[in-house]
Amino acid sequence: MLSIPSPDLGVAPGRLGVLRDIVAGLDSVVMGLSGGVDSSLLASVCRDVLGADRSLAVIARSPSLPSGELEAALDVAAAIGIETRVVDTDEVTDTRYAANPRNRCYFCRDELFGRLEAVAAELGFATVAYGEIADDAGDHRPGRAAALQHGVRAPLREAGLDKTAVRELARELDLPVWNKPAMACLASRIPYGDQVTEDKLQQVDRAERVLTDLGFRQVRVRHQGDAARIEVEPDDVAAVVEQADAVADGLRDAGFSHVTVDLDGYRQGSMNSSAGRRLLPLA
């Protein structure tokens, strides 16, 4: 299945020192931890530079969190040795978020950063931070507007670290998630303008578990009413087709009447339309 190539050593020479200097200047930090490579690298550096008493990782639990990701984030926090707190967020009950506009992520981040600010105020910590990287600056990132409004710091971006450099440093620091596939909240599988509901999120989660249980690592199941569009890495598309019966049966059990696989494979931000895509019906 998917194999992420090892990053080229030397991509980020000296960047770890830059990142450590930025974190040292934060004094004390409450940071959001998703368990992905970006936030895990930040957590590791915060714990190393600031120590256990001045660093805290906060994991947000909500219906939009894919199955297993809470446990995975707790595991990586334990491996790093950073103190951790789990908070429940209620973005799905926010009618602005549930309406699923193009800036949906703003309302999610606004909710999250408000919770992180409350924890920081409770503990007397100086700074709230999160794992935005340099690559994110040119992407559609409404959550960044929320970060700016809340005064949340992004040390990885400030250090000029892109995804390649982040993976390199994470591997050098022996973080177990250095090659973890990109992850996003379950709501990102629902086209903009279609209502986000807990039922839809659970349906997508069940469908994606079918594929991960079959051994696929990078998986998206795009929710299109009673139809599901599967995206996996391009090299894995043939394997999905080979297991078409098992995949189709599993996604029907998850609640989808029609199942297709995108022959062009996974790519970020493809939930809006199937126009121009090469889709193969599985059921």
Mind telling me the catalytic residues? 185
At 21, list the tokens.
């200097």
Measured CA to CA in angstroms, residue 143 lies from 108, 113, 225, 239, 279 at distances of: 7, 10, 26, 35, 31
Give the DSSP letter of residue 68: T
Which residue(s) pair with 88 in the sheet? 61
CB 131 within 8 A of CB 158: no
- φ and ψ of 130, to 5 deg: -150, 175
Local structure of 260: helix, strand or coil: strand
Q: In what order do the strands lie in the sheet with 219-224?
A: 219-224, 227-232, 258-262, 279-281
Residues in the chain: 283
Tokens of 169: 């440093």
- Asked if residue 28 lies in contact with residue 55, where contact means CB atoms within 8 angstroms, the answer is yes
Q: 187 by DSSP, 3-state: which?
A: helix
Do the Cβ atoms of 234 and 256 come closer than 8 Å?
A: no
